[in-house]
Amino acid sequence: QVQLQESGPGLVKPSETLSLTCAVSGYSIRSGYYWGWIRQPPGKGLEWIGSIYHSGNTYYNPSLKSRVTISVDTSKNGFSLKLTSVTAADTAVFYCGSHRGYPGYFDHWGQGTLVTVSS
Protein backbone atom coordinates (compact mmCIF):
# COMPACT_ATOMS: atom_id res chain seq x y z
CA GLN A 1 0.00 0.00 0.00
CA VAL A 2 1.43 3.35 -1.05
CA GLN A 3 1.76 5.83 1.79
CA LEU A 4 2.83 9.46 1.48
CA GLN A 5 3.90 11.98 4.10
CA GLU A 6 4.54 15.68 3.55
CA SER A 7 7.09 17.63 5.54
CA GLY A 8 8.46 21.16 5.57
CA PRO A 9 8.19 24.55 7.26
CA GLY A 10 4.73 25.63 8.34
CA LEU A 11 5.56 29.32 8.01
CA VAL A 12 7.21 31.07 5.08
CA LYS A 13 7.86 34.79 4.66
CA PRO A 14 6.47 36.69 1.68
CA SER A 15 8.78 36.72 -1.37
CA GLU A 16 10.67 33.66 -0.10
CA THR A 17 10.63 30.08 -1.41
CA LEU A 18 8.29 27.43 -0.07
CA SER A 19 9.96 24.01 0.04
CA LEU A 20 8.18 20.75 0.85
CA THR A 21 9.14 17.12 0.59
CA CYS A 22 6.98 14.03 0.26
CA ALA A 23 8.27 10.73 1.60
CA VAL A 24 6.87 7.66 -0.11
CA SER A 25 6.67 4.29 1.59
CA GLY A 26 5.30 0.94 0.53
CA TYR A 27 6.29 1.51 -3.09
CA SER A 28 9.49 2.32 -4.95
CA ILE A 29 9.17 5.69 -6.62
CA ARG A 30 11.26 4.35 -9.48
CA SER A 31 8.74 1.64 -10.27
CA GLY A 32 6.23 3.92 -11.90
CA TYR A 33 3.27 6.18 -11.04
CA TYR A 34 3.09 9.90 -11.34
CA TRP A 35 3.75 11.91 -8.20
CA GLY A 36 2.01 15.21 -7.70
CA TRP A 37 1.24 18.19 -5.50
CA ILE A 38 -2.21 19.66 -4.87
CA ARG A 39 -3.05 22.61 -2.66
CA GLN A 40 -6.17 23.81 -0.87
CA PRO A 41 -6.45 27.34 0.55
CA PRO A 42 -8.30 27.42 3.87
CA GLY A 43 -12.01 26.90 3.29
CA LYS A 44 -11.59 26.64 -0.47
CA GLY A 45 -11.28 24.02 -3.20
CA LEU A 46 -8.48 21.94 -4.65
CA GLU A 47 -5.87 23.12 -7.14
CA TRP A 48 -3.38 20.88 -8.90
CA ILE A 49 0.13 22.36 -8.77
CA GLY A 50 2.13 19.87 -10.80
CA SER A 51 3.36 16.31 -11.17
CA ILE A 52 6.47 14.37 -12.00
CA TYR A 53 6.91 10.94 -13.54
CA HIS A 54 9.48 8.60 -12.04
CA SER A 55 11.64 9.19 -15.11
CA GLY A 56 11.83 12.88 -14.24
CA ASN A 57 9.34 14.29 -16.77
CA THR A 58 7.48 17.17 -15.17
CA TYR A 59 4.04 18.68 -15.72
CA TYR A 60 3.06 22.00 -14.19
CA ASN A 61 -0.13 24.01 -13.89
CA PRO A 62 0.32 26.92 -16.33
CA SER A 63 -0.98 29.30 -13.67
CA LEU A 64 2.00 28.45 -11.43
CA LYS A 65 4.57 27.18 -13.91
CA SER A 66 6.92 30.16 -13.64
CA ARG A 67 7.29 29.64 -9.88
CA VAL A 68 7.18 25.84 -9.46
CA THR A 69 9.82 23.14 -9.51
CA ILE A 70 9.10 19.50 -8.70
CA SER A 71 11.89 16.97 -8.46
CA VAL A 72 12.38 13.33 -7.51
CA ASP A 73 14.91 12.07 -5.00
CA THR A 74 15.20 8.34 -5.64
CA SER A 75 17.80 7.90 -2.88
CA LYS A 76 15.19 9.00 -0.34
CA ASN A 77 12.26 7.50 -2.23
CA GLY A 78 10.49 10.82 -2.31
CA PHE A 79 9.88 13.97 -4.26
CA SER A 80 9.84 17.65 -3.53
CA LEU A 81 8.12 20.93 -4.32
CA LYS A 82 9.61 24.39 -4.53
CA LEU A 83 7.37 27.43 -4.99
CA THR A 84 9.18 30.73 -5.32
CA SER A 85 8.17 34.31 -4.60
CA VAL A 86 5.29 33.34 -2.34
CA THR A 87 2.55 35.71 -1.21
CA ALA A 88 -0.30 35.42 1.25
CA ALA A 89 -2.39 33.97 -1.59
CA ASP A 90 -0.16 30.88 -1.48
CA THR A 91 -1.27 30.05 2.07
CA ALA A 92 -2.81 26.60 1.83
CA VAL A 93 -2.80 22.99 2.89
CA PHE A 94 -0.42 21.23 0.52
CA TYR A 95 -1.02 17.58 -0.31
CA CYS A 96 1.25 15.19 -2.12
CA GLY A 97 -0.33 12.35 -4.01
CA SER A 98 0.17 9.65 -6.57
CA HIS A 99 -1.75 9.10 -9.76
CA ARG A 100 -1.90 6.55 -12.51
CA GLY A 101 -1.47 7.97 -15.94
CA TYR A 102 -1.49 11.62 -16.78
CA PRO A 103 -3.50 13.61 -15.91
CA GLY A 104 -5.07 10.63 -14.19
CA TYR A 105 -6.83 10.29 -10.89
CA PHE A 106 -5.20 10.64 -7.49
CA ASP A 107 -5.56 7.33 -5.69
CA HIS A 108 -3.20 7.93 -2.79
CA TRP A 109 -2.81 11.13 -0.78
CA GLY A 110 -0.63 12.35 2.04
CA GLN A 111 -2.31 13.79 5.12
CA GLY A 112 -1.50 17.34 4.06
CA THR A 113 0.56 20.10 5.62
CA LEU A 114 -0.53 23.68 6.24
CA VAL A 115 1.85 26.34 4.99
CA THR A 116 1.17 29.92 6.02
CA VAL A 117 2.79 32.81 4.21
CA SER A 118 3.24 35.67 6.63
CA SER A 119 5.92 38.02 7.86
Partner 1 sequence: DIQMTQSPSSLSASVGDRVTITCRASQSISSYLNWYQQKPGKAPELLIYAASSLQSGVPSRFSGSGSGTDFTLTISSLQPEDFATYYCQQSYNTPPTFGPGTKVDIK
Instruction: Give residues in contact with partner 1 (CB under 8 A).
Output: 45-48, 59, 61-63, 95, 97, 101-107, 109-112
Task: Give residue 27's region: left, alpha or beta (phi > 0; psi -120 to 50).
Answer: beta
Q: Which is nearer to partner 1, 16 or 21 (CB)?
A: 21
Helix (H, G, I), strand (E, B) or coil at 74: coil
Minimum CB separation of residue 104 from partner 1 in Å reads 5
**CB neighbours of residue 91 within 10 Å:** 18
Buried residues in 48-58 as b, exposed as e (16+ CB within 10 A): bbbbbebeeee
Nearer to partner 1, 14 or 41 (CB): 41
Tell me how far, at minimum, the Cβ of 49 lies from partner 1, in Å.
9
For partner 1, the closer CB: 19 or 93: 93
**Alpha carbons 29 and 37: distance in angstroms, whole number:** 15
State which residue, 45 or 75, has the beta carbon closest to partner 1: 45
Cβ at position 14, least distance to partner 1 in Å? 25
**Smallest distance from partner 1 to CB 57, Å:** 12
Could you tell me if 47 and 38 are in contact, meaning their C-beta atoms sit under 8 angstroms apart? yes
